[in-house]
Structure 1
Amino acid sequence: MLSNNPHWNQISSMEFDDLFSLSNDFNPQSDSDEYSMLLDDLIKEETSSPTETDPYQLQKALPDDSAHESRVPTLECGVCGAPALGYNFDQITCESCKAFFRRNAFRDMSQLTCRFSGSCVINIQTRRQCTYCRLKKCFDIKMRKDWIRTDEEKRIRQLQKLTKEQKKSHRLFNDHLDTLSLAIVSRKKKQLCTNSTGQ
């Protein structure tokens, strides 16, 4: 059959053998190994690049207790010295002193008395023992009672919050209706397509 084709007759037997035999240096396994090594090197370069550092990995690499505490500033209540989360009525206070000031800031100081002539030490352990000295210390560190909301302001804020939530729920309900109507329309289109192809 080869002899009938003039093109095949021109190819020497050596060339013919070369076409169908694999060279000795070609090894699919070694090529895939080289490819995987290149891929591993590329991944290492991506992960170890100094410009991009994953903050989660950085946090995991740091020791949990000492290094993390040294970086995060610890806030201390100006009234009793307890750990504080932030500013309340223009001063850094704990949640307990914030609530105490909100309840007592409008009380008349002349009606409050101290059993120890106004010289109580206010700290975490003693802050509940003397209302007068605790409130006095609140005013001494310049907590502002004009920042406390009145009952009318609280009602207005609650109404604003309620209307905001209603708008949000109404928007969610409208979105839900839109998705339902879209699903119904797509189902009808599908039915029309199947009916037209069936006919």
Structure 2
Amino acid sequence: MGVNNIGVGSVGGARRVSPGLQCLVCGDTSSGKHYGILACNGCSGFFKRSVRRKLIYRCQAGTGACVVDKAHRNQCQACRLKKCIQMGMNKDGRSMTSLPFIYNDENLMPLAFI
């Protein structure tokens, strides 16, 4: 298994996992599909804890419109959870759906479907 210039291993001639896949919530590097969307481990874990513990958050600024990005994602839990839901995270989604992806010139596919 060789390694290409972006540090991602190759599988059968196709490059493995995420050249540029981003978390839909904060923009960090996605680790796969979590709760129905591409998300990083941080946002996936945050969403899981929030849902399982039935946590209720209050917006720190009082506006409900805080910036949720990689640098600011931990500043307002209410706005982060709101963005998770707006981007399509589903509490009924399986957290174990983070399948490895294969990237080839045509598309991205979960490794399990190849």
Superposed pair shares fold, TM > 0.5: yes
Bucket of the pairwise TM-score, normalised by the shorter protein: 0.5 to 0.7
- Measured after TM superposition, the shift of residue 112 of structure 1 is 2.0
Q: Which residues of 2 match residues 114-129 of structure 1 at below 5 A?
A: 114-116=59-61, 117-129=63-75
Counterpart of 1:138 in structure 2 is 84
- Measured after TM superposition, the shift of residue 101 of structure 1 is 0.4
Counterpart of 2:93 in structure 1 is 147
Equivalent pair of 2:30/2:38 in contact (CA under 8 Å): yes
Matched, 1:100 2:46: yes
Equivalent pair of 2:30/2:39 in contact (CA under 8 Å): yes
Which of 58, 81, 85 lines up with 1:113 in the alignment?
A: 58
- Bigger RCO of structures 1 and 2 (CA < 8 A, at least 6 apart): 2
Give the alignment's Cα RMSD to 1 decimal.
2.5
Letter in 2 for 1:141: M
Runs of 4+ in 1 over 3 A off after TM superposition: none
Structure 1 or 2: larger strand share?
A: 2
Residue segments in structure 2 that go unaligned for 5+ positions in a row: 10-14, 96-114
Count of paired positions: 84
User: Which structure is larger by alpha-carbon Rg, 1 or 2?
Assistant: 1
Letter in 1 for 2:65: S
Write out per-residue CA displacement over residues 95-151 of structure 1, whole angstroms, 9 at most, x where no aligned residue: 00000000002525xx421122101000111111101000000000110101258xx
TM-score for the superposition, normalised by structure 2: 0.63
TM-score for the superposition, normalised by structure 1: 0.37
